[in-house]
Amino acid sequence: MPVITVFGPPLSPAEVNLALKAVNAAAARALNLPAEAVHSMFLPATAGATGTKAEPAWPAALLHGPAGDAAEIAAATTAVAAVLGGVWGQPVEHTWVHWVVAG
């Protein structure tokens, strides 16, 4: 089961719920899994910096899952990045999403 840890600026509980559902659905579609086969959680990131300039944290996600089809993994990371960009109103290049092979 892929497990996704999402980090981003704080959201309301309702926004977190919607964001995690969207992340799960996007990853599941890319991996050819049902949404119920993907788990996610949210950790708020309250501050960020680029170089010496303070700015809001960029949204990021770590997808933990088994080694698998490279095209599906790439599609999942791209899909999750698009969701994060949409949720936080950021361009995709201001998101960071990475697949980590579990176990």
In a domain, 25, yes or no: yes
Within-domain flag for 7: yes
pTM for this prediction: 0.92
Domains in the chain: how many in total? Answer: 1
Element (H, E) at 27: helix 13-31
| Structural domain that includes position 28 | 1-47+78-103
Compute the mean pLDDT over every residue in the chain, rounded to the nearest whole number: 95
Indicate whether 73 belongs to any domain.
no
Mean pLDDT of 83-91: 95
Gyration radius (Cα) of the chain, Å: 13
2: CATH: 3.30.429
Q: Which pLDDT tens digit goes with each residue over 39-60?
A: 999 999 999 999 999 988 999 9
CB 4 within 8 A of CB 65: no
**pLDDT score, position 102:** 81
- Alpha-carbon gap, residue 20 to 16, rounded angstroms: 6
Q: Round to whole Å and give the CA distance between 48 and 84.
A: 16
pLDDT at 103: 73
Confidence (pLDDT) at 60 = 97
